[in-house]
Structure 1
Amino acid sequence: TVERFLANIPYDGTLESILDQKYVALFWTGFEAWHEYRRTGYPALVIGEGTQNDHVLPTRMAYPTIAIKTNPDNYAAEVARLQSVFRGADDMKTPVWWSAEAVRKGIE
């Protein structure tokens, strides 16, 4: 019921509560919920002990193998850019430029 949902995720007038409810609404559309989390940093997710990736929630997808094999020069240039601008590698821990994590790290 709506009452039970609101009891678990109450609206208190904050942006955080709106984004928490949006995350729940988007949960069954996988990537949409993930992108909203990356964009906003909400909801405040708990990282469990079983999490791989050095206990960091994935923030981006690595370049696919086909792109690395068929476009090695541009791939090398983008990896160099990831290292210099984003202070990361071609992995799931380097934030995308528009994410809340990138803003916290001062990446522009």
Structure 2
Amino acid sequence: MARNDALDAGELTDTSFYILLSLLEARHGYLIMQTIEEWTDGEFTIGPASLYTTIKKLLKAELIELAEGSGKKKTYIATAAGRELLKSDVERRRRMIRHAEEVWQEKEDVINEA
């Protein structure tokens, strides 16, 4: 599936997942990037170009919105639809991990022989 189609299919890319997760409370762009980097101990970073491209997509899909009284900096927050999609995507990712663990366990002998 093309990355552009992920939101249309009701799935989040890793970038949109982390941005939406960070917007469970209102944040501006730079704080979104900082928060994600802190949460992941620097393992996942988002640059400004990716951040604002993804924010535009999330706004268009009505998964986030401008927060009230955001002042000089644009501040965003997840909408109810965004929170629901995030919740659904977390469950989808849990199933993916469960499938991987099951397959890994089934194939453990083969994997250990390699």
Does 1 or 2 have the higher relative contact order (CA < 8 Å, sep 6+)? 2
Whether TM-score is above 0.5 comes out as no
Which structure dedicates a bigger proportion of its chain to helix?
2
Query: With structure 1 as the length reference, what TM-score do the two structures score?
Result: 0.23
Which structure dedicates a bigger proportion of its chain to strand?
2
Query: With structure 2 as the length reference, what TM-score do the two structures score?
Result: 0.22
